[in-house]
Amino acid sequence: MSAVAAGYQMFQAALLDGRLRPGQFVSQKDLGAMLNLSVGALREILPRLQSERLLLVQPKRGIQIPVVDLPMIRDAFQLRAALEREAVVQAVRKVEDAVLEEQRHRHEEILAQLAQSDGHHVPVDGQKVDEDLHSLLMNATENELLMQAHHLNTIRMRMIRLDRIKLTRITLPSAFADHLAIIDAILMRDKHRAIDAMDLHVANARDRAMEL
């Protein structure tokens, strides 16, 4: 892997682990040091990151990480709805029952762990189970362009989650109930029901983000 490609991945990692926060300004020098990139290599990836709306280059002010505001939330969730609607359509056609039943089992295990903790502690694997289901559905499209768009939008969604929403003992049961409805609809091979279930899930997540 080239230094530029590695720096691009490290930038994404820095967004997701909180080293770079929404709205933060950072100099090219400091960002290059964080990503272990030379000034030249950093300048190679800046246009790509700016075109993907993962950063903004502000003249005389430096590099800014995008602010998580209502327009960003609206746009990210609208794109997510379009991508994941197509994902469930393809999942109805392609994902095997056994794979879906395993997803159901994983969700039910997390809900059981939450109940056993009297709802005070969110199981550590809850977020991974959430993300794995969405990745499974998107992979069912077998469309590299859609999967790339989903990957970039997932980064934006994680930025929103870090800033505004995350799975908690209050939000997890609702989110997982949505997931189970999606899984059930796909198992029934009911395309329209699956689309409706996914639309409701995305709308619920969007509303939680926009209320905060």
Instruction: Give tens-digit pLDDT for 55-87.
Output: 998 887 889 999 888 899 999 999 999 999 999
Distant-in-sequence contacts of 114-119, Cβ < 8 A, 24+ apart: 114/169, 114/172, 114/173, 119/169
Q: Compute the mean pLDDT over every residue in the chain, rounded to the nearest whole number.
A: 89
* pTM, to two decimals: 0.84
Range of the domain at 181: 70-211
Judge if 113 and 173 occupy the same domain: yes
Judge if 60 and 144 occupy the same domain: no
Which CATH number covers residue 59?
1.10.10.10
Q: How far apart (Å, rounded) are the C-alpha atoms in residues 89 and 192? A: 8
CB 185 within 8 A of CB 193: yes
Judge if 60 and 74 occupy the same domain: no
Q: Using the 3D structure, point to which of 64, 89, 113 is the last residue of a domain.
A: 64
Tokens encoding 87: 């994902």
Q: How many CB atoms lie within 10 A of CB 77?
A: 21
